[in-house]
Structure 1
Amino acid sequence: MESRLAARLAELRTERGWSLDDLARRTDVSRSTLSRLERAEISPTAALLSRLCAAYERPMSRLLAEVESEPPQLVRADAQSVWHDAPSGFTRRSVSPPHPNLRGEIVEATLSPGADITYDSPPPVPGLEQHIWLLDGQLEITTSGTAHTLTPGDCLRFRLWGPTRFRNTGPDTTRYALVVVLP
């Protein structure tokens, strides 16, 4: 999947007629990092992928779906794609991947103890509807400048307009379901 992701990122840049320098200016990511990413020499972190998605104006889930084969109607647990960002302690399982004829998707995410991820670039799709249902652990989510503390069973729903922060505030791994509804 990583090689397909690298190829798709290079393709998106080329489609727009941008040089690596152009993309570096738009994302505030070094030209060398972008080049290594497009050659699949490195794997993107969640934060880096978020910046690229903002530049390309698409949700991360849509980008990841573009590098997967057409998903079947029934998505068996062992067929769900998993992406892991080891440095940040973030794992993302595409439970119900995006599909061209559907507007929603479900993601299962886990954050290691102490994980603290900030997405400070503009959202790839302003106003994207999200519902986060905390299954295990403790999670603090900051959106639109307001911090929300979730405990198991709580659901935070919002439209994504600006920076967000996800912080595991407990001693154990945090697990949550994210439902994304495309406009």
Structure 2
Amino acid sequence: MKHTEAAEAGPDPVDARLGTRLTELRAERGWSLGELAARTGVSKSTLSRAERAETSPTAALLNRLCAVYGRTMSQLLSEVETEPPLLVRAAEQPVWEDRASGFLRRSVSPPHTGLRGELVEGRLAPGADIAYDRPPVPGLEQHIWVLEGALAMTAQDVEHHLAAGDCLRLRVRGATRFRCVGDEPVRYVLAVVLP
């Protein structure tokens, strides 16, 4: 599909629902775009374009928004989907892609009422590098289990190199960074547990 055809087709349905939810969250707090920009360090124009679904938000942008709204990324993304069932079939697991960074995120076990944990499958293309300036929820517990490839994960200014089968366990309190350091994509499971 050509770029003009994609533009004529309208925004991606998930991006449209996400934009609506981001607008609702800002309105619930009574914040202007300027106030949200000051809290996140993201320009008003970028925030406005994300809310109007004129652009697909990046993982880094969603992380900053989740931090000010007190949500994990999975919680935010689950709010734009229907109530997740207890059994989540592979074909029904929500997938979100940050095309700019080469990051694909599958919500294997989305957040659910009464549960504090969730499972996410992450895939990074060779050379992909994603940095988060803060956790969406301070003290968030994460378990990162590499299934295929090689991952460099930085937390608390320490870089950890993980190969297939390795698992890193931590509480996220500051900036983190995920990098695919091999010639092949890296695929990992991220178990997230709210504090």
1:162 match: 174
Q: CA deviation at 1:123?
A: 1.4
2:140 maps to 1:128: yes
Q: Distance in 2 between matches of 1:80 and 1:35?
A: 28
**Given residue 100 of structure 2, which amino acid in structure 1 is its aligned partner?**
P
Q: Distance in 2 between matches of 1:149 and 1:68?
A: 34
Within 5 Å, which residues of 2 pair with 1:24-103? 24-103=37-116
Identity of aligned residues (%): 66
Aligned mate of 2:159, from 144, 147, 150: 147
Q: CA deviation at 1:175?
A: 0.1
The structure 1 segments of at least 4 consecutive aligned residues displaced by more than 3 Å after TM superposition are none
Q: CA deviation at 1:182?
A: 1.3
Q: Distance in 2 between matches of 1:169 and 1:37?
A: 30
* Pairs aligned (count): 182
TM-score relative to the length of structure 2: 0.92
2:3 match: none
Indicate the SS of the match to 1:73.
coil
Q: CA RMSD in A?
A: 0.7
2:187 match: 175
Q: CA deviation at 1:4?
A: 1.1
Q: CA deviation at 1:36?
A: 1.0
Indicate the SS of the match to 1:158.
strand
Indicate the SS of the match to 1:34.
helix
TM-score relative to the length of structure 1: 0.98
Q: Structure 1 stretches of 5 or more lacking a match?
A: none
Indicate the SS of the match to 2:62.
helix
Indicate the SS of the match to 2:113.
coil
Q: Distance in 1 between matches of 2:37 and 2:62?
A: 13
**Given residue 177 of structure 1, which amino acid in structure 2 is its aligned partner?**
V
Q: CA deviation at 1:57?
A: 1.6
Q: Distance in 2 between matches of 1:47 and 1:33?
A: 12
Indicate the SS of the match to 1:50.
helix
Q: Distance in 1 between matches of 2:136 and 2:153?
A: 18
Q: Distance in 2 between matches of 1:102 and 1:29?
A: 31
1:12 match: 25
